[in-house]
Chains A and B, each alone.
Chain A
Amino acid sequence: MSDIAQHLSEAPVRKPSAVWTAIRRNPTIFIGASILAILALMALFAPMITGDPLRMTPAERLRAPSETWWFGTDQYGRDVYSRTIYGARVSLTVGISVALVASFIGLVIGLVSGYFRRVDAIVMRIMDGIMSIPSILLAIALITLTRPGLGIVLVAIVIPEVPRIVRLVRSVVLSIREQPYVESAIAGGTRGFKLLFKHILPNTMAPLIVQATYVCASAMLVEASLSFLGAGVPPEIPSWGNIISQGRSFFQIAPWSILIPGAFLTVTILAVNLLGDGLRDRLDPRLSRRM
């Protein structure tokens, strides 16, 4: 390398401007990720920034938002602010864990289904079957069969999300396996599983990451719906869904106990979707939003 080139390569890079251009080029990722980061920090440090979400103060029932009660209180005199922040824990846990678990299961099934033609027909018919079950009904059925809790809610939400991931991964595998570079890897003597994991799997990552964000958003919504219906997390764990559900009967006199968790839910879903849209544009501009 010549001296000039050496000098150029060692020239100090102005970090702030690099970060700034990255943000400017893709503002949606930045906005989505920032909102989620703030929410995650709030949820993580909830005990430090809020009070006990379960403590009732009967004398202070249905107070409007004020300096003492930032988001007001509900009909039992519980602090809506504490409850909302604790509720973020449930939503984020559900969103992230459903996205991870469903992606992993979907990835494995999708790879197998796309790569081994013999199992494909059977697996895809099973997936079609699962997709035809309304997810809320399936969740209610599962929850009524067992004791309510966060775990069973996760299972109930993961099951209907898996086929979506499977279809996506399978479709990517089907197109990648016909690519000339896969043929040329076979011509180089690559064996089946190596081919699948080394040459095909990495190509599924970009669309899978994008799809996972949409699964995350959808899981949060389903959890809120289930909790609202009383089939989600048990009432002793505050979640945006059950806060809204409990505030429903007092909507006219205490709308804050519905509007505020509702707004949090909306903003969170929006943030996840923004992140997903940004990642989609960044990773694969041709991929459609929903399979």
Chain B
Amino acid sequence: MSILQVRDLKTQFFTQDGIVRAVDGVSFDVGVGETVAVVGESGCGKSVTALSILRLIQKETGRIVEGSILFNGRDLTKLSEEEMRAIRGHEISMIFQEPMTSLNPVLTIGTQIAENVVRHKNVSWEKARERACEMLELVRIADPRRRLDEYPHQLSGGMRQRVMIAIALSCDPKVLIADEPTTALDVTIQAQILDLMLELKEKIDAAIVMITHDLGVVAETAQRVVVMYAGRKVEEATVEDLFENPMHPYTRGLMKAIPRLDLDAEAGGRRIRLQEIPGMVPVLIDPIPGCAFAPRCPFATERCRMERPPLVENSGGHFAACWEVDRVREIAA
């Protein structure tokens, strides 16, 4: 059963240069307790997708023009601002990319966690503080009672991200959206935060939407992966399927661009060059009639440039939007 169903979501920004189609018809489901990763490079619309789910796109610049976001059967795009506020931070919560700036420097950690609890659970401040203390313990912050009265600048980046997670989980959300939760952290802390998230997932059974550009993070955390390119979903599969048998040329390109120690070893210790994907991400202002990846794709044909490929299920639960899937597969085999 899915808790969150994104259907044909289109989010556009209205700039002086024209309409930016940041998210251009994306659909995916998130099951109860499932972790779905949304991957893609910078500017592919993955963060905008996340913000759209919580309806956090600034009204002055952009809006959701089409599609629906069903959460527990309710269409979030049709709710009033008041109803959305009750959902944000409560039933759906979000962790942001920048732990260094995502906490208010002038409020204590305890206040920032308790505030969320008071707002959504209608409890007293004392109760909320107790909850805040429990949450800090849950995210493995040592000496939580003392930390409650500390300010964000007294914590390290990793600890701040733990606090962000504590805030996000403080009201037992059903869906947790993590927008590149480890990007701003250094590698050892990244691993700790990912471990923590995996561990907490067992305890809280929230579904997670993991927005990332790091395929390593995907492999470690997610069950299912949505690959986005230029505001469109180009491939969707289980993690095993995607890594074993990437179907879309873009996904294959991404895989080849991951540095791997085992390949170096296979080549007899000789260093082999990483492959990059040639070309640039397309500008999203001009409408793209065909496949958005066609200009950079080694398999592209005339048809790819003219007609937009539909998302087709190629094998059980593995979807790809590519006209040339068969050729890509042959070459891979």
Residues of A bordering B, CB below 8 Å: 117, 179-191, 198-199, 202-203, 205
Contact = CB atoms under 8 A, between A and B. Distances in A.
Nearest to A176: B104
Interface string B246-272: 000000000000000000000000000
Contacts of B142: none
B94 A184 contact: yes
Contacts of A187: 54, 56, 88-89, 93-94, 96
A182 B102 CA distance: 7
Nearest to B87: A189
B60 A180 contact: no
B88 A184 contact: no
Contacts of A203: 104-106
A181 B101 contact: yes
A118 to B, nearest CB: 11
B115 interface: yes
Interface in B96-134: 96-98, 101-107, 115-116, 119-120
A14 B54 CA distance: 53
Interface residues of B, number: 28
B106 A189 contact: no
A186 B56 contact: yes
A184 B99 CA distance: 10
B90 interface: yes
7 contacts: A181-B102, A181-B105, A183-B96, A187-B54, A187-B89, A203-B105, A205-B106
A187 B94 CA distance: 7
A112 B87 CA distance: 27
Contact of A183 (B56, B93, B116): B56
Contacts of A202: 104, 106-107
Given A189-B85, A189-B87, A191-B85, A181 B104 contact: yes
Interface of B: 54, 56, 60, 84-90, 93-94, 96-98, 101-107, 115-116, 119-120, 164, 167
Contact of B107 (A117, A186, A189, A198): A198
Contacts of B87: 189
A189 B120 contact: yes
Given A117-B60, A191-B85, A185 B94 contact: no
* Cβ-closest 8 pairs across A and B: A188-B89, A189-B88, A202-B106, A189-B89, A187-B94, A180-B101, A189-B85, A181-B104
A180 B180 CA distance: 14
B102 A184 contact: yes
A183 to B, nearest CB: 7
Contacts of A180: 96-98, 101-102
A189 B89 CA distance: 6
Nearest to A1: B143
A240 to B, nearest CB: 38
A184 B96 contact: yes
Contacts of B167: 184, 188
Nearest to A186: B56
Given A187-B96, A188-B116, 8 more contacts: A117-B60, A181-B101, A181-B104, A187-B54, A188-B167, A189-B116, A189-B120, A205-B106
Nearest to B119: A189
A179 B119 CA distance: 21
A183 B51 CA distance: 10
Contacts of B97: 180
Contacts of B84: 189
A190 B94 contact: no
A179 B115 contact: no
Contacts of A186: 56, 88
Contacts of A181: 101-105
Contacts of A184: 94, 96, 102-103, 164, 167
Contacts of A191: 85
Contacts of A199: 104, 107
Contacts of A205: 106
Contacts of B93: 187-188
Nearest to B90: A189
Contacts of B96: 180, 183-184, 187
B104 A188 contact: no
Contact of B119 (A117, A182, A190): A190
B119 A188 contact: yes
A180 B90 CA distance: 19
A187 B179 CA distance: 12
Contacts of A117: 60
Contacts of A183: 56, 96, 102
Contacts of B115: 188, 190, 198
A189 B86 contact: yes
A248 B60 CA distance: 60
Nearest to B98: A180
A179 B101 contact: yes
B121 to A, nearest CB: 12
Nearest to B81: A191
Contacts of B102: 180-181, 183-184
B91 to A, nearest CB: 10
A186 B94 CA distance: 10
Nearest to A188: B89
A182 B89 CA distance: 13
B9 to A, nearest CB: 18
A1 to B, nearest CB: 9
Nearest to A178: B58
Contacts of A189: 84-90, 116, 119-120
Contacts of B90: 189
B108 to A, nearest CB: 11
A58 to B, nearest CB: 61
A267 to B, nearest CB: 34
